[in-house]
C-alpha cells in the first residue's frame, strides 16, 4: 500500500495550483493535455482493478469515461472534459477503491497469475498493483513538462 503514497502525493501537489485552463495546455502539439491524461488515468485504474475481479470498484462518471477515449485526445475544447474538481474527486474515489481491494489480498493472492488482459503489467496480481503505481508516475513526468512550460515550480 505504501507504494501508492508517493505518486498520489506528487500528482496532488503538482495539481494543487493548476487551473482548469492550465490542464488544457499542450507543451508540444503531439502531447496530450492533462485533462485527457487524468480521464485516462482514472478510467485505466478502474479497468485494471475491475479486471482483477477481486472486489467492487466505484463507478467512473460517464463524462470521465467519455474524456478518456483515445479518439478524443485531440480535442482542445475545455467544455468537452470534466472540471479539475470532478477529476480530483474521481481520482480520490478510485484510489480508495484500489486500496480497499489491496487490503483484502494476502501475500499468496498477490503471487497468483494476473488476468490475461493485464499481463502487460506483469505475470502476477501483485505486479498489476506495481504497474498502476508506475503508470501514474509515467504521467506525472508529463505533468512536470506542462508545469515547466507554464513557468510553474517543479520539485
CB 23 within 8 A of CB 14: no
Residue 100 has pLDDT above 90, yes or no: yes
- Rounded to two decimals, the pTM is 0.95
The answer to whether residues 48 and 132 touch, using CB atoms and an 8 Å cutoff, is yes
pLDDT at 2 over 90: no
**pLDDT at residue 55 tops 90:** no
CA 38/CA 73 separation, integer angstroms: 11
Distance CA 114, CA 110 (A): 9
Q: Supply 41's cell numbers.
A: 488515468
Residue % of the chain over a pLDDT of 90: 96
Angle ∠(60,62,67) on CA atoms, nearest 5: 95
Computed over its alpha carbons, how large is the radius of gyration of the chain?
16
Tens digit of pLDDT for each residue in 33-42? 999 999 999 9
pLDDT at 53 (0 to 100):
87
Read off the pLDDT of each residue in 124-133 and give the average, rounded to a whole number.
Answer: 97
Q: State the cell numbers at 109.
A: 493472492
Query: Once rounded to an integer, what is the mean pLDDT over residues 72-77?
Result: 97
pLDDT score of 152 more than 90: yes
CA distance 78 to 40: 16
Amino acid at each position: 500500500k505504501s507504494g501508492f503514497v508517493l505518486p498520489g502525493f506528487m500528482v496532488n501537489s503538482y495539481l494543487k495550483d493548476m487551473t482548469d485552463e492550465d490542464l488544457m495546455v499542450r507543451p508540444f502539439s503531439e502531447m496530450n493535455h492533462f485533462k485527457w491524461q487524468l480521464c485516462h488515468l482514472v478510467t485505466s485504474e478502474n479497468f485494471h482493478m475491475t479486471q482483477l475481479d477481486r472486489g467492487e470498484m466505484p463507478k467512473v462518471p460517464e463524462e470521465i469515461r467519455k474524456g478518456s477515449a483515445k479518439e478524443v485526445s485531440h480535442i482542445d475544447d475545455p467544455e468537452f472534459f470534466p472540471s479539475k474538481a470532478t477529476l480530483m474527486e474521481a481520482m480520490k474515489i478510485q484510489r480508495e477503491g484500489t486500496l480497499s481491494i489491496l487490503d483484502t489480498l494476502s501475500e499468496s493472492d498477490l503471487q497468483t497469475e494476473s488476468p490475461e488482459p493485464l499481463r502487460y503489467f506483469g505475470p502476477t496480481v501483485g505486479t498489476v498493483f506495481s504497474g498502476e503505481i508506475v503508470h501514474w508516475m509515467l504521467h506525472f513526468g508529463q505533468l512536470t513538462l506542462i508545469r515547466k512550460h507554464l513557468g510553474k515550480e517543479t520539485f
